[in-house]
Structure 1
Amino acid sequence: MKQFSTKAIIIKRVNFQEADRIVTLLSKDYGKIRIIAKGVRKLKSKLAGGMELLSVSEISYIVGKSEIYTLISSRLDVHYSNIVSDIDRTMLAYKVIKIIDKFVEDGSGEEYFDLLQKTLAGINEQKLNISTTELWFVMQLLEQTGHLPNLKVTSDGKELNSSKKYIFDFENMTFTESKTALFGANHIKLLRLAVNYKDPKDFHNIKNTADYVDESLKLATEMLQFTFPQLN
């Protein structure tokens, strides 16, 4: 049997038999994997410390004939303790890992490891607004999957104008000019910046965005749900 070692984020745990757990992880090198952590629920288990939800761990496992691999060692690297001490941050973190779990197939998705790690680190920062972090995550996910909306021109090819108002065309993932629309230059600018900044902590440093975050997040979330109905 082959042995592998990697850094991984624990995204799901299910109790199995008397003392075991089936654990789903997003690993840096091998994507989404499922492992059995034998005896991990016992009080003196050496594996337990590295199998905490919302944490990053160094793990080693062996691959046999089963689709579920066997954990042989785990060491906690980072635990996002501020998340679990705040209900709103906890709910957002669970929402994010649920999206990743639904979105990524077993044996793939290693390219999303850094995105998930940065997102959890952003949620863990108590001074950072969680809605801003969520907006950053959604726009980064749309970009990485190749489904980024057109943030440069309208559906009829005109450059987006700071003096105009727009509605969003989900079928074509573009904005369309409308006098009664909700979205303006500041919303579109914020969406662009959420793509351009590659760390949520840097994205939070942008000033004068508080009035536009919630509406921009609602739109970005609707984009994601329209593009990937399985996430609904």
Structure 2
Amino acid sequence: MKNRIISTGIVLARTDFQEADRILTLLTPDHGKLRVIAKGVRRQRSKLAGGIELFSVSDITVLPSRGELGTLISTRLQTHYASIVKDINRTMLGYDLLKRMNKLTEDAAGEEYFKLLKAAFEGLNNLELQIDLVELWFTMQLLKVTGHAPDLKTDDAGMQLEASKIYLFDFDAMAFKQQDVGPYQANHIKLMRLGYGTDSPEILKQVVGAGTLAPDVLSLTKNILKLHVRV
């Protein structure tokens, strides 16, 4: 029993293997990423199947091996975010978040990545929460945990950002630049500050006009992410 890994997992990727098995990549809060084989899971009465659904959080027990793949020996579903698959756009974004997280994280990924993905699922599962706000929050949090958050206190000249000013964004300085004409104003910056500072995408609704502001801010944060994190 001592060498078994008992943890909580989210399925990042899965591949069918042989007649009834499946190879899984799991993200855990305390063991990073695990690659395991779930033997016989595609058989109709498999006891493992219910605990390895996509968009779910499950208790898992893994028997490590000397090779690359451990063996998944038990699962128990904690939470299944079933509403995600009720909407095609939420489903597609959910797949995209899994793909990004799998590409970004190393085997020794920290607990913050697990918490981030779990909170994103909770946001996507809320059908009343605008999907752009969920993706915006996820993108900003990715920048934060990877150490690439922009300066949201001062501009490129070191001056305090002001509510009455208009700004462009300087990607080299990773800061806003004051201009007479530009796409970003106080509420855009407020939305970004809230996104970096909160642990749930639902809080973004507090910003007046958040739904209207989200596309512009999402485009900016995705460009920053592409430049610095390459996902």
Q: TM-score range by the shorter chain?
A: over 0.9
* Contact 1:26-1:33 within 8 A present in 2 as well: yes
Instruction: Give runs of aligned pairs for residues 156-195 of structure 1, distance below 5 A.
Output: 156-195=157-196
Distance 1:201 1:25 in 2: 26
* Contact 1:31-1:111 within 8 A present in 2 as well: no
Instruction: Name the structure 1 match of 2:98.
Output: 97
Instruction: Give runs of aligned pairs for residues 68-107 of structure 1, distance below 5 A.
Output: 68-107=69-108
Distance 1:171 1:17 in 2: 49
Cα drift, residue 121 of structure 1: 0.6
Distance 2:131 2:206 in 1: 13
Distance 1:59 1:31 in 2: 13
Instruction: Name the structure 2 match of 1:211.
Output: 212
* Contact 1:142-1:148 within 8 A present in 2 as well: yes
Distance 1:208 1:181 in 2: 18
Please give the TM-score of this superposition, normalised by the length of structure 2: 0.95
Instruction: Name the structure 1 match of 2:27.
Output: 26
* Residues 50-95 of structure 1: per-residue CA shift (max 9 Å, x gap): 1111111100011110111110001111111100111011011111
Please give the TM-score of this superposition, normalised by the length of structure 1: 0.95
Match for 1:32: what amino acid? Answer: K
Number of residue pairs aligned between Structure 1 and Structure 2? 230
Distance 2:27 2:55 in 1: 11
Match for 2:52: what amino acid? Answer: M
Question: Percent of pairs identical after alignment?
Answer: 45
The answer for unaligned runs of 5 or more in structure 2 is none
* Contact 1:81-1:124 within 8 A present in 2 as well: yes
* Residues 87-128 of structure 1: per-residue CA shift (max 9 Å, x gap): 011011111111110000123233211111011011001111
* Contact 2:11-2:24 within 8 A present in 1 as well: yes
Match for 1:52: what amino acid? Answer: E
* Contact 1:7-1:57 within 8 A present in 2 as well: yes
Cα drift, residue 144 of structure 1: 1.6
Instruction: Give runs of aligned pairs for residues 47-62 of structure 1, distance below 5 A.
Output: 47-62=48-63
Match for 1:118: what amino acid? Answer: A
Aligned to 2:102, what secondary structure does the other structure show? helix
Instruction: Name the structure 2 match of 1:5.
Output: 6
* Contact 2:139-2:221 within 8 A present in 1 as well: yes
Aligned to 1:137, what secondary structure does the other structure show? helix
Cα drift, residue 209 of structure 1: 2.0
Distance 2:90 2:110 in 1: 24
* Contact 1:10-1:55 within 8 A present in 2 as well: yes
Instruction: Name the structure 2 match of 1:42.
Output: 43
Distance 1:209 1:165 in 2: 18
Q: Decide which moves more: 196-205 or 56-65.
A: 196-205
Cα drift, residue 180 of structure 1: 2.6
Distance 1:178 1:203 in 2: 26
Instruction: Name the structure 2 match of 1:198.
Output: 199
Cα drift, residue 177 of structure 1: 1.5
